Amino acid sequence: MGSSPTVTRTYLKQAPRPLNEADPEVGRTVAELLAALEAGGEAEARRMAAEFDGWTGPVEVDEATVAAATRDLPTTVVDDVAFAHRHIRDFARAQRDSMSEFAVELSPGLVAGQRLVPVEVAGCYVPAGRFAHVASALMSVTTAVEAGVDHVVVASPARPDRGGVHPAILHAAHLAGAGRILGLGGVQGVGALAYGLFTGLPADVIVGPGNSLVAEAKRRLFGRVGIDVVAGPTESMVVADGTADADTVAVDLVGQAEHGPDSPVWLVTTSAELGAAVLARIDAVAGSLPDPARASAVAAWRDHGEVVVVDDRDEAAAVCDEYAPEHLQVMAADLDWWRSRLRNYGSLFLGERTTVTFGDKTAGPNHILPTGRAARYSGGLNVHRFVKQLTWQVMTDEAAAAHAAVSGRISRLEGMEGHARSADLRAGPGAST
């Protein structure tokens, strides 16, 4: 095995990373809320909705409300959602088509294979706190539908100031193919998906971004249900050489920093001049945003922004792989080299024209991605998350006899006599019938 290259780094700005660990107090709070929700059922979910979101109206959104939301939206919003949905749907469909069932004869008389079976119920959480995450509704619901899931249930906060669930989220979820929509946010929304409240459809898999409470609820429910990722603060890295434009780099870093005050943004570059130019511009770029985006971006850059200068592109790629960022944007020459070399990231954006914003909203590949270096071992949300790869095997008498002796010996080597005797029954011709 080769060793990792030694990387020489100069930090023009260095900052600590947010700890992607559950706050013990958050953990205790979420555990108590989930326990109360499981014990109290729908009545407790309604009580939580009233306490945390001020919502006392209907929890399940009816068809008339969804139709009214679509009717009242500006035409440009409807058209924009359709544009994004088409790209997300077509990419998810291509992912599904890339998967295949198969059967192979591994040895004479032994045939084994793989089936692709979608889960029955998917729960999609769509946040709507500071931002109405219309794109997240499209990303999660569309992917589940294209995977072939039978029932897709959405949970998103209902609030009095919006008259319920945000109308653009209602429209996007319905367009993407959601069968049921619940006006529940936070822990009560995630818990309702897991326990099947209001629908009688307990989720097999729950996906979607959210705040620390939502992330902790998914973490605690994992095992009872499948999940996509336990997401921490949004992260973005730009890797650039001397061909990059400093203003573009600064704008793109700030664009991701506005996600929240704990969202780290990083620049790694082979050009000290570029690094210094970005550092000189970025405060003004962040400060020019309107609030509350300005406050988030300024704090994120101040507390978690970095500029790292390295000697060459191999060292730059090594830094990228070490950080394993959620979003990785390349502004450098020879994009094919970077695409083939880089290996740890949630999603890759190649070239100055390909901003992370496009991936967040409209490009097609999913924007629900791993954070906290989880990209070392996991990709983002995709159709595979909703599809089980189930294996099967069948043997003739002759194949069973051939395997019986070997399986029996391995079983006895392991001290598993019951297994061995089961194999022994298949040792002779016709013994399996």
Catalytic residue ranges: 326-327
Q: Is 413 exposed, middle or buried (0-12, 13-18, 19+ CB in 10 A)?
A: exposed
What one-character DSSP code corresponds to residue 270?
Answer: S
* Pairing status of strand 265-269 against strand 236-240: parallel
Q: Which two tokens stand for residue 224?
A: 């009872």
Residue burial 354-374, b: 16+ Cβ < 10 Å; e: rest: bbbebbbbbbbbbbbbbbbbb
With tokens 């306490």, the residue in question is: 51
Distance CA 239, CA 249 (A): 9
Cα dihedral sign, 100-103-106-112: positive
* Pairing status of strand 158-159 against strand 164-165: antiparallel
CA–CA distances in Å: residue 142 to residues 77, 169, 379? 18, 13, 18
Report whether 150 contacts 120 (CB < 8 A).
yes
CB count, 10 Å around CB of 341? 15
Which of 266, 329, 275 shows the shortest CA–CA distance to 303? 266
Report whether 190 contacts 37 (CB < 8 A).
no
Beta bridge partners of 114: 102, 391
Q: End-to-end CA distance of the chain: give it in Å, rounded.
A: 49
Distance CA 246, CA 176 (A): 38
**For the chain, give me the number of helices (H) and strands (E)?**
15, 16
Report whether 114 contacts 102 (CB < 8 A).
yes
Q: Which two tokens stand for residue 18?
A: 């947010």
